[in-house]
Amino acid sequence: MILRKTISLPEMSRGVHLITREISSHIHGIETGMVNIFLKHSSASLAINENYDPDVRNDIENFLKNLIPDGWYGFKHTIEGEDDMPAHMKNILIGSSLTIPITGGRLDLGTWQGIYLLEHRVSGGSREIVITLFGE
């Protein structure tokens, strides 16, 4: 069986946002299988990381801001603002999709793992995610 749904997340500030609950709420109809989560944008990313200590989120954001700073002199694509090209570069490094096993009708994440939307723009707008479930 294959099930597909597109969801919209509201606009979020720049940073690392835990979205495990939003994704989990759409995991039904499959007992055993896989889910692919695809972000339909090139200036934000999806990742799995520790979901216990909020300092992890701040550390990730601070590291990325230092790794690829806004307004870097080498970027020519600046028509959409000084945070746009850095957002595209972060998306290339982190990625736009995740594949997670489903076991017992639930996401089979580790004890301390969560799903994150990394918003790389100061004002990125709402974000669309395609959730595709495969299994039985």
Q: Which domains are seen in the chain, by residue range? A: 2-135 (2.60.120.460)
> What type of residue is 117?
L
| Prediction pTM value | 0.95
Three-state SS for 26?
coil
Q: What is the rounded CA–CA span in Å between residue 70 and residue 86?
A: 6
Q: What is the pLDDT of residues 85-128, one digit of tens each?
A: 999 999 999 999 999 999 999 999 999 999 999 999 999 999 99
Q: What is the pLDDT of residues 61-72, one digit of tens each?
A: 999 999 999 999
Q: What is the rounded CA–CA span in Å between residue 95 and residue 113?
A: 17
Mean pLDDT of 12-32: 97
pLDDT value at residue 21: 97
